[in-house]
Chain A
């Protein structure tokens, strides 16, 4: 009954799919804020060497546990204060952004690529291959992500690379399931059958014909996967199973900060805040992407 002005403009001006997506996306204020924050964090991460006021490992022996600049006893040289061995917290957070985003990117890419391949194979070939892959995914899914990651790190030994590997494996089943489900809905559509009749091989059918039509839910899942990866990575770091000191990883920074909880609130507060904000930004953007890409809501 209600015809909104947006639908009228879409009628008048034919939009490219991206322009249409973008017009929906920027209407979502939360998603836009999320995107801006992510761009900001990415900027910090890329130019950490120039942006950070100090080296993340440099210990200022005369400035141990200095409060933030605005607080009493603060020092303008260290905006967010210094930690227990006199390292600048702001610089460590900026370099930590580089570490967290990089690890997040690696984890999401590895599980996304592997998940797409396995999901395509399962959905495309069916039969025993399908059952085997999906059973494997179900078993992985029956255990909570963090628990499984801890188990794998327990085998491989605590390190940032091993915990990244563990998390990639843990997130794998989500992508497998999503890909397989979309393949199953696409595979019997006319355009797939026609290219099959035209003689396209299995690989071409899977990756060039079917895959592009399954991407929307995968993009959303990958964005939300980023927030999970950063959160779980920080948790592993906090438990001492992920990044090892003195790496400026956010979670392990919190772990070493625990002993100062009674004396120096800033050492505890800022690393957690940046984790929360980054995760929140990815979640906001993921929600916005889902709404903008979901054809049901577009009508």
Chain B
């Protein structure tokens, strides 16, 4: 197990270095140099410029600059926003809980509905339910989620008035930030109805963000389940006289989930990039919206740091998925 862990870690490090090289290069690839951008319309005089260059380390050779950058990154220093003058890291940390809350809720929605639909479709293969699930899944997979969001807002918020249009909490509530997770913070506060408000704000964004992963998981679960149900060991289980329920839950599902878990891991990346769209539409104050706004404001340290952090998170989550895969599948765990 330890060897397995070390091998996976060994694959992560070069990828991280590659990503950091990319984000480092970003600053040098943009048209116009950083100091001109920082200066905005007023600009800097030659003396100020030289001073700033020295301060930012821009006068050093480029490889040296990279190592300084990498060193800073490893210490959690991602630079300072041009616009707010706040450290990028602290801005990120203050916005990240909102994104986690959204993606986790979306993931829960995607996994629960995706697995259920996939399993049901496989068990009732060829039936009406199966065809319905396949149609839903294919449509969900092809869905432009920014439009899907608008449709849901049109139906549930505008026409039916069931859910709020945007934001995380109704303005009538004031909740102290303790964890940054609105669902938890509202429970901790003594405001009546705040939790319900936070929950209702989460419903539509979670469904929107979870739609594509849900479709992918449903499809994958179905085909994996069908494959497993045709395996010899399912026949063995039936020959033991086990109940249908036990065969499906104990013998089929566990094996069918192995490929599904890999697919779920790949969805984390999609969830985080989908969050960019979803947060923009629902005015959700998370890192996706922050990143897009920073691009618009040409706030490059934020873009650079945000991208690096998101990519790092995705790499780590993929690592985690690999390790989980080892736990579920004994063949991987034992292989040398």
Binding site for B on A (CB under 8 A): 30, 135-136, 138-139, 142-147, 150-151, 153-155, 157, 227, 231, 234-235, 238-241, 251, 254, 257-258, 261-262, 265, 268-269, 271-273, 275-276, 279-280, 283-284
| Contact residues in A for B126 (Cβ distance below 8 Å) | none
Of A136, A142, A150, A234, which contacts B315 at CB under 8 A? A142
Binding site for A on B (CB under 8 A): 14-15, 18-19, 22, 26, 29-31, 138-139, 141-144, 146-148, 150-151, 153-154, 158, 269-270, 272-274, 276-277, 280-281, 291-292, 295-296, 303, 307, 310-311, 314-315, 318
Tell me whether chain B's interface is mostly helix, strand or loop, or mixed: helix
A254 near B270 with CB under 8 A, answer no
| Contact residues in A for B314 (Cβ distance below 8 Å) | 142-144
B295 near A150 with CB under 8 A, answer yes
Of B19, B142, B147, B315, which contacts A280 at CB under 8 A? B142
Q: Give B145's nearest chain A residue, CB to CB.
A: A235
B276 near A146 with CB under 8 A, answer yes
B144 near A272 with CB under 8 A, answer yes
| Contact residues in B for A251 (Cβ distance below 8 Å) | 144, 146
**Shortest Cβ gap from B48 to chain A (Å):** 26
B307 near A155 with CB under 8 A, answer no
B318 near A279 with CB under 8 A, answer no
Q: Give A231's nearest chain B residue, CB to CB.
A: B144
**Shortest Cβ gap from B79 to chain A (Å):** 15
Q: Give B153's nearest chain A residue, CB to CB.
A: A261
Do A261 and B154 contact each other (CB < 8 Å), given the known contacts A144-B270, A235-B146, A272-B147? yes
Most A CB within 10 A of own CB, among B146, B153, B315: B146
B15 near A238 with CB under 8 A, answer no
Do A275 and B273 contact each other (CB < 8 Å), given the known contacts A241-B295, A258-B150? no
| Contact residues in B for A261 (Cβ distance below 8 Å) | 150, 153-154, 158
A268 near B154 with CB under 8 A, answer yes
Do A151 and B270 contact each other (CB < 8 Å), given the known contacts A142-B314, A227-B142, A275-B144? no
Of B31, B147, B296, B303, which contacts A276 at CB under 8 A? B147
A143-B310, A254-B144, A276-B144 known; 11 other A-B pairs, CB under 8 Å?
A: A135-B14, A138-B18, A147-B276, A154-B30, A154-B295, A227-B142, A239-B276, A241-B295, A275-B144, A275-B147, A276-B147
Of B29, B138, B281, B291, which contacts A284 at CB under 8 A? B138
Query: How far is B146's CA from A240's CA once the two chains are assembled, in angstroms?
Result: 13
**Shortest Cβ gap from A159 to chain B (Å):** 13
Most B CB within 10 A of own CB, among A143, A240, A257, A268: A143
